[in-house]
Structure 1
Amino acid sequence: MPTRIIEGTPPRLAPDLIARFAAIPVPIVVDLLEGRTLVDPAIRPLRRVAGGGALLGTAVTALCPPQDYGAVHHAIAAAGAGDVVVIDAGGRGDVAMIGDLLSTAARRKGVAGLVVDGAIRDTGTLAGWSDFQAFTRHVTPRGPASKDGGVVNGPVTIGGAPVRPGDLILGDDDGVVVIPREAAAGLIDQARARAEAEIGWERQIAAGESTLALFGVPAAVREPGA
């Protein structure tokens, strides 16, 4: 069956709204969403994100059947600047769904990066790009066997987290979180307030304040030793 492309995906979120999430650490979003859309932390960045900018952009999804990467080609063709190509390969590590050639094509279009619940290859090249973030579960040198299947811009599941086209993807050194597109506008002010609060807490700790008092930790029960 040829690759299917689902049309009628929602419009991208406003660029200024997306940009406001660039300064928000993943753990803050995960806490605010109570972990519901946390991607399995086994999906890791190829290189340290710190100092190079978080992975941030709207999802273009590719659902790949075993050993077939046709949907990845079509997802890159459909993606625009600032998007993140999200590849659901079922967590399989037997073949790479993408390497340097397809990633180069995506990068030239301004795609922000990849999240792959599966495998990638050519990691030495991809890890050297400061403007393109790649998160993956596995690495293997073996390539796919076919390119005529899969689905583009349908709902997928990445590391246990549901992803729909148009959802916001945020990734840093702690992992990846999916921000449902309808929740983004209501979440950003909460996230920024939490980030500012954490800066204040860091200052108080640096000044010597106990975390017991700072966070209102209940008193422990003291018991006599043996």
Structure 2
Amino acid sequence: MKPETKEKLMGVSVATLATALFKRGLRNQVIQDVRPVARKGRNMIGPAFTLRYMPAREDRNTLAEFRNPQHPQRQAIEQCPAGHVLVMDSRKDPRAASAGDILITRLMVRGGAGVVTDGGFRDSIVIGELDIPAYHNRPSSPTNLTLHEAIDINVPIGCGDVAVFPGDIVVGDDDSVIIIPAHLADEVADEAQEMTAYEDFVVEQVKAGETIIGLYPRTRDEHLKTFEAWRKKNKR
């Protein structure tokens, strides 16, 4: 991802990105039933590094797995490149935890840009206090071994009903998380930045008493002149 693309994505919302992707025919890019563990006031941005879970089978998922240095869950934490977002396919099942605070702390120390699961986290209060954006369905205390088996690293997955391919760009804000196909990241970031500038202009106009008819969406040409003057004044 280009540094300038990342910078642009830092200043736009998931909602705006969803509209930009919708214009390109992509309707299902927002990960469903996933929310911030704690709001950070800044966007989470990075290429996706994935971990896939499957249903656990009792003879394969005993507490002895904690001693296995090659266990995919631990390996995913140790292999996720700095600046990437670890995205976990936990089968939309938060009954058992996808990870806990110790693993997420290790991911943070290694430079991870964030972590997303469509399952749950144990120790979620502690994770929320860490300096790493984290998103999940809801808190969950049981170990993942009770219901889920970590089975594969950095392969295509489904997270919250969204297809996630390694290297896709993950953006999370204080509401939700969206997946941008890597080849669209530059143009979507450009358009979302433009959309955000106009929306900020609209908010000022509405607060000043302007009707939304013809303003949002813009269907009256006079608003374009006012917008251009606003951009010049605000250096947008």
The more displaced of 74-83 and 190-199 is: 74-83
Give the residue type in structure 1 aligned to 2:156. P
TM-superposed CA distance for 1:83, in Å, is 0.8
1:14 equivalenced with 2:14 (yes/no): no
Once the two structures are superposed, residues 112-167 of structure 1 have per-residue CA deviations (whole angstroms, 9 ceiling, x without a partner) of: 211101121101111112x2011001321111228975111100011111101111
Root-mean-square deviation (CA), in Å?
2.1
Where 1:104 maps in the other structure, the secondary structure is: helix
TM-score, normalised by the number of residues in structure 1: 0.82
Aligned to 2:30: 38
Q: CA deviation at 1:18?
A: 2.1
Runs of 4+ in 1 over 4 A off after TM superposition: 146-149
* 1:24 to 2:16 alignment: no
Give the aligned partner of residue 172 of structure 2. Answer: 171
Structure-2 residue corresponding to 1:135:
135
Q: Describe the SS at the equivalent of 1:47.
A: coil
Q: Secondary structure at the match of 2:137?
A: strand
Q: Secondary structure at the match of 2:55?
A: coil
Which residue is equivalent to 1:197? Answer: 198
- Cα gap change, 1:149 to 1:216, in 2 (>3 Å): closer
Tell me the matched-pair count.
202
| Code of the aligned partner of 1:209 | E
Residue 157 of structure 1: aligned partner: 158
Q: Secondary structure at the match of 1:150?
A: strand
Task: Say if 1:217 and 1:120 are closer, same or farther in 2 by CA, change over 3 A.
Answer: same
C-alpha distance in 2 between matches for 1:216 and 1:18: 27
Identify if the C-alpha distance between structure 1 residues 148 and 138 changes in structure 2 by more than 3 Å, giving closer, same or farther: closer
In the alignment, structure 1 residue 60 sits paired with structure 2 residue 61:
no
Residues 90-110 of structure 1: per-residue CA shift (max 9 Å, x gap): 011221120011111101011
In the other structure, the counterpart of 1:221 is none
Distance 2:139 2:90 in 1: 13
In the alignment, structure 2 segments of 5+ residues that lack a partner are 66-70, 220-236
* Distance in 1 separating the partners of 2:171 and 2:8: 11
**Structure 2 counterpart SS, 1:28:** helix
Shift, 1:207, TM fit = 1.8
TM-score (norm 2): 0.79
Determine the C-alpha separation between the residues in 1 that align with 2:126 and 2:92: 22
SS state at 2:118 partner? strand
Offset, 1:217: 9.3
C-alpha spacing 1:148/1:43, structure 2 compared with 1 (3 Å): closer
- Residue matched to 1:86: 87
The whole-number CA distance in structure 1 between the counterparts of 2:14 and 2:30 is: 9
